[in-house]
Structure 1
Amino acid sequence: MIALSAGETRQLPRTIIPIGAGRLFGQMPGALLSEGYFGAKLVSVFAEPDRPGRTAHLGVVVLFDAESGQAVCVADAGAITLIRTAAGTAVATDALAVPDAERLTVMGYGHQASAHIEALARVRPLREVKVWGRSIERARAFCVTMAEKTGLAMLPVADPREAVTDAQIVCTVTGAVEPILFADWLTPGTHVNLVGASVASAAEAEAAVVSVGRYFVESRESARNGAGEFLRAVAAGLVTEDCIQAEIGEVLAGMRPGRQSASEITIYKSIGHAVQDLAATAYLYEQS
Structure 2
Amino acid sequence: MTMLLLDRDFVLRRLTVEVCIPLVRQAMIDLSAGRTLQPLRSVVHLAKGRAFGVMPGAMAAEDAVFGAKLVSVYPENFAQGRPSHQGAIAVFDSQDGTLAALVDAGEVTRIRTACASAAATDALARPDSSRLAVLGYGEQAEAHVEAMAAVRPLREVRVWGRSPERAQDFADRVGAHLGLAISACADVEAAVRDADIICTTTAAADPILYSDWVPDGAHVNAVGSSYAGPVEIAADLVARSRFIADYHPGVLAQGAEFLAAKATGHVDDSHVVGEIGQVFAGDLAGRQDEAQVTLYKSLGHVVQDLASAAWLVQTARETGEGTVVAF
Bucket of the pairwise TM-score, normalised by the shorter protein:
over 0.9
Residue in structure 1 matched with residue 214 of structure 2 by the alignment? 186
Deviation at 1:203, TM superposition (A): 0.7
Instruction: Report if the CA contact (8 A) 2:85-2:109 is conserved.
Output: no
What's the offset of the Cα at 1:17?
Answer: 2.8
Instruction: Give the alignment partner of residue 229 of structure 1, picking from 239, 254, 257.
Output: 257
User: Within the alignment, does 1:26 sit opposite 2:53 as a pair?
Assistant: yes
* Offset at residue 146 of structure 1 (A): 1.2
- For the residue of structure 1 that corresponds to 2:157, the secondary structure is strand
What is aligned with 1:136? 164
Q: Does 1:218 align with 2:249?
A: no
| 2:302 aligned with 1:277 | no
2:147 matched to 1:111? no
Question: 1:128 touches 1:153 (CA, 8 Å); kept in 2?
Answer: yes
Counterpart of 1:85, as a letter, is T
Cα RMSD (Å): 1.8
Is 1:62 the equivalent of 2:90? Answer: yes
* Cα deviation, residue 22, structure 1: 4.5
Whole-Å separation in 1 of the counterparts to 2:260 and 2:83:
23
Q: Choose between structure 1 and 2 for higher RCO, CA contacts under 8 A separated by at least 6 residues.
A: 2
Q: Which residue of 1 aligns with 2:193?
A: 165
On the 8 A contact 2:77/2:84 being kept in 1, the answer is no
Shift of 1:26: 1.4
Q: Which residue of 2 aligns with 1:13?
A: 40
Change (3 A) 1:49 1:192: closer
**Distance (whole Å) between structure 2 residues aligned to residue 78 and residue 161 of structure 1:** 31
* Partner Cα distance (2:208, 2:218) in 1: 17
Judged with a 3 Å threshold, the aligned counterparts in structure 2 of structure 1 residues 111 and 19 are, in CA distance, closer, same or farther, namely closer
Deviation at 1:44, TM superposition (A): 1.6
Deviation at 1:49, TM superposition (A): 8.6
Tell me whether 1:4 sits opposite 2:38 in the alignment: no
Aligned to 2:286, the other structure's residue is in SS state coil
After TM superposition, what 4+ stretches of structure 1 lie above 6 angstroms from structure 2? none
In the alignment, is the contact (CA less than 8 A) between 1:48 and 1:55 conserved in 2? no
Give the gaps of 5 or more residues in structure 2. Answer: 1-27, 317-327
SS of residue in 2 equivalent to 1:48: helix
Match runs of 1:34-49 below 5 Å: 34=61, 36-46=64-74, 48=76
- Tell me, what secondary structure is at the counterpart of 2:290? coil
Q: In 2, Cα distance between the equivalents of 1:163 and 1:175?
A: 17
- The answer (yes or no) to whether the contact 2:84–2:106 under 8 Å persists in 1 is no
Rate the CA distance shift 1:284–1:184 in 2: closer, same or farther, 3 A.
same
CA shift for structure 1 position 250: 0.3
CA distance in 1, matches of 2:233, 2:260: 10
How many Å apart are 1:48 and its aligned residue? 3.0
Letter aligned with residue 58 of structure 2: A
| TM-score, scaled relative to structure 2 | 0.84
Q: What is the percentage of aligned positions where both structures have the same residue?
A: 48
TM-superposed deviation, 1:286: 1.0
Quick one: distance in 2 between partners of 1:48 and 1:266? 31
Task: Choose from 255, 264, 268 the match for 2:283.
Answer: 255
Does 2:251 correspond to 1:198? no
2:110 maps to which residue?
Answer: 82
Number of aligned pairs? 287
The equivalent residue for 2:130 is: 102
CA distance in structure 1 between the aligned counterparts of 2:215 and 2:75, rounded to whole angstroms: 35
* TM-score relative to the length of structure 1: 0.95
**Matching residue's letter, 1:15:** S
Please report how far the alpha carbon of residue 16 of structure 1 lies from its aligned counterpart in structure 2 after TM superposition: 2.1
Are 1:36 and 1:67, in contact at CA under 8 Å, matched by a contact in 2? no
Paired with 2:175 and 2:51, the residues of 1 have a C-alpha distance of 35
* Higher helix content, 1 or 2: 2
Shift of 1:100: 0.9
